[in-house]
Structure 1
Amino acid sequence: MQQALFYISLIVILFTLVPLVRHDFWIFRVFEYPRLQKLVLNVVLLILHLVYLPIEVIEKVVFAALILNFFYLVYQVFPFTIFGKKQIVSAASPADDRNISLLIANVYQDNRESDSYLKLIKKCNPDVVLMVETNVWWQQQIDVIGADYPHQLKIPLENTYGMIFYSRLALRNGSVNYLVKEDIPSIEAEVKLKNGQWVKLHCLHPEPPVPQENPRSTERDKEILMVGKSAKDCELPVIVMGDLNDVAWSYTTELFGKISGLLDPRRGRGFFNSFNAKYFFLRFPLDHIFCSPDFALSGIKRMESCGSDHFPMCVNLQFNPKVEQLNEEPVADQDDLALAQEKLTADTES
């Protein structure tokens, strides 16, 4: 038993350290995802070590390393618990004509529970709906909401990167962009709040760094940071939403926050793990909504499963420039800017 504990402990410690290697190859990036899972395993191993007290010096060294690993993982997880500092303040007043509610859903292209999503849209009653992994079949099923959502952008694709966007708010300057790869679209548009304020929206669904999709995170990181740079330069309030195929705590997502100046409403409120809906122990926050500091949060909720491997996410934001000084805006230093520039200019063809 002690020998098994020794080797399993080494593996957990290794899995914690691997993401510290800032390399784009998938094996280094994928271990950023299960941070909470590593913490749980670490706690279990510590308890087992106390039951089966280490005897050999090397076993005691590994036990001490597990203790250090535990505190390191707690430090990483803490900002996304209810005990962490909120990055965006809660709205002080009820929802009004300054609010925008957004629903994002990765439907899983082969899923056929379209009725579940139609019921969900009716239940959430969002101002904006973004659905990804949508092909022609999904567009045909969801188009029945068109009367309530007259402003639309649709890119149905069969490669699991299709997107459909519906808005009941007025839309201008809507465009479909292919920022990094010619078959991976993104959406850029401006929507008009009921009080007349225009807001810039970016909708993304980049490739994940996994062998069956793309062995590197280069393209994903580049697309995310391109949008981050655009958000920073925008004079309008900004919202970025989508399945970013990256966890909220990865170094790329943190770099995105610093480069863009956008805020994550989950910080200080919980993980809101949106993937994988089918496996309880393998869940990570992959579906994101970020906003500029001139928003307060009226609500954030992970919705019920609709047959996909992703849970839908619903977020309600209130535009209020007065809260800008209260929100904790991330700031990039020179090292962050240099790293972002390196990723923005990286070769995505190799």
Structure 2
Amino acid sequence: MEIQQALFCISIVVILFTLIPLIRHDFWVFRVFEYPRLQKLVLNFSLLVCHAFYFPATTLQKVVVVILVFNLIYIIYQVFPFTKFGKKQIVSSKSAANDKNITLLIANVYQDNRDSDSYLKLIKKCNSDVLLMVETNSWWEQQINVIGEDYPYQLKIPLENTYGMLFYSRLQLRNGKINYLVKEDIPSIEVEVQLKNGQWVKLYCLHPEPPVPQENPRSTERDKEILMVGKSAKDCQLPVIVMGDLNDVAWSYTTELFGKISGLLDPRRGRGFFNSFNAKYFFLRFPLDHIFCSTDFTLSSIKRMESCGSDHFPMCVSLQYNPKVEALNEQPFADESDLELAEEKLNASTEN
């Protein structure tokens, strides 16, 4: 009887964890439960197995088990697009890597981490054209400066507040700007990169605040920054890539809205989760580090790289510019309600 009651209580909690994110409020309590979809799936399935062994005794317990079944179906529906059985948003490259490719490496180093040697080895191994390192301060700038000869084009904003950025490129840059879109101490980068074939590509790099009590109790600022970049990307006449630690999962309603508003694609869809956080706890992993691109790219490769002492795994993605494939890639579409929601978030007050 006690086991049945315990299963009943845990089942109620898991159901609530699934339902709470449906309340589209910016307060962190409503946003944080968007993150653990795989964890909720495992818990939900495990509870149903346990209920099969300890069949519910009361009518109320039976009702909860039925709700748990529908809850499992709903979570599977949410998870499916990020499995290998889901539809790919971006088609795979059919040509070998060539002068139309751009390889990007993003790494949240964790500011207090001191394992810079591992990152230098990673940079050499990945051999990327563009490198973005976040949570980088002056110490990290000094450690990484040794790659300067290989990466002569640079934009650097080392900060001590865990929102510093170091951007390195082997490819020529122009029109580089450091923006402070929402807060004066949280930068983002906007720059144009020239591929080896001469094609220019617009690149946005960002690292907004997460909606957690110790950082910011609301997701307002994060959502606003993400959507501001999305709107700018939509208006851009060049091919576009957005990369960074968005502090948001790939399936959240904000990230999905970003995709619709920007018209950009997620290479994870149809290929896997590629959970980049938390590198230290395997049961608490979510896809927080992202690289999105416009519909005129194909995907050559996407890899989660080995941990280098940070709480984030680095991500390495290689894209190939090919405007002929636009019709083959998914075409995100924002309807009237999406546009209204985006406008509401863009106009939201960021004053606490």
TM surpasses 0.5:
yes
Aligned match of 2:112 in 110, 121, 135? Answer: 110
Residues 1:37 and 2:39 aligned together: yes
Asked if the contact 2:241/2:291 (under 8 Å) is kept, the reply is yes
User: Structure 2: which amino acid aligns with 1:137?
Assistant: W
1:71 aligns with: 73
Residues 1:220 and 2:204 aligned together: no
User: Structure 2: which amino acid aligns with 1:321?
Assistant: P
Shift of 1:54: 1.0
Aligned match of 1:60 in 59, 62, 77? Answer: 62
Residues 1:298 and 2:335 aligned together: no
* Residues 189-240 of structure 1: CA deviation (Å, up to 9, x unaligned): 0000000000000000000000000000000000000000000000000000
Shift of 1:114: 0.3
Shift of 1:349: 1.0
1:265 aligns with: 267
Residues 1:189 and 2:191 aligned together: yes
Structure 2 distance, partners of 1:308, 1:249, is 23
Asked if the contact 2:89/2:269 (under 8 Å) is kept, the reply is yes
Aligned match of 1:127 in 107, 126, 129? Answer: 129
2:156 aligns with: 154
Shift of 1:329: 1.8
User: So what's the TM-score if we normalise by structure 1?
Assistant: 1.00
Aligned-pair identity (%): 81
User: Structure 2: which amino acid aligns with 1:206?
Assistant: P
Runs of 4+ in 1 over 3 A off after TM superposition: none
Asked if the contact 2:4/2:57 (under 8 Å) is kept, the reply is no
* Residues 46-102 of structure 1: CA deviation (Å, up to 9, x unaligned): 000000011210010000000000000000000000000000000011000000000
Give the count of matched residue pairs: 350
2:347 aligns with: 345
Residues 1:138 and 2:140 aligned together: yes
Residues 1:22 and 2:24 aligned together: yes
Residues 1:176 and 2:178 aligned together: yes
Structure 2 distance, partners of 1:175, 1:328, is 30
User: So what's the TM-score if we normalise by structure 2?
Assistant: 0.99
Shift of 1:9: 0.1
Residue 38 of structure 2 aligns to a residue whose secondary structure is helix
Aligned match of 1:51 in 50, 53, 69? Answer: 53
Residue 97 of structure 2 aligns to a residue whose secondary structure is coil
Aligned match of 2:91 in 89, 92, 115? Answer: 89
Unaligned runs of at least 5 residues, structure 2: none
Structure 2 distance, partners of 1:274, 1:348, is 28
Unaligned runs of at least 5 residues, structure 1: none
Aligned match of 1:206 in 195, 202, 208? Answer: 208
Residue 13 of structure 1 aligns to a residue whose secondary structure is helix
Residue 32 of structure 1 aligns to a residue whose secondary structure is coil
Shift of 1:246: 0.1
* Residues 98-137 of structure 1: CA deviation (Å, up to 9, x unaligned): 0000000000000000000000000000000000000000
Shift of 1:15: 0.2
Residue 326 of structure 2 aligns to a residue whose secondary structure is helix
1:319 aligns with: 321
Shift of 1:156: 0.2
User: Structure 1: which amino acid aligns with 2:136?
Assistant: T
Residue 95 of structure 2 aligns to a residue whose secondary structure is coil
Q: Give the alignment's Cα RMSD to 1 decimal.
A: 0.3
1:334 aligns with: 336
Structure 1 distance, partners of 2:196, 2:212, is 41
User: Structure 2: which amino acid aligns with 1:178?
Assistant: Y
* Residues 171-191 of structure 1: CA deviation (Å, up to 9, x unaligned): 000010000000000000000
Structure 2 distance, partners of 1:328, 1:60, is 42
Residue 33 of structure 2 aligns to a residue whose secondary structure is helix
* Residues 296-319 of structure 1: CA deviation (Å, up to 9, x unaligned): 000000000000000000000000
Structure 2 distance, partners of 1:143, 1:129, is 12
Residue 38 of structure 1 aligns to a residue whose secondary structure is helix
Residues 1:287 and 2:300 aligned together: no
User: Structure 2: which amino acid aligns with 1:103?
Assistant: L
Structure 2 distance, partners of 1:349, 1:165, is 30
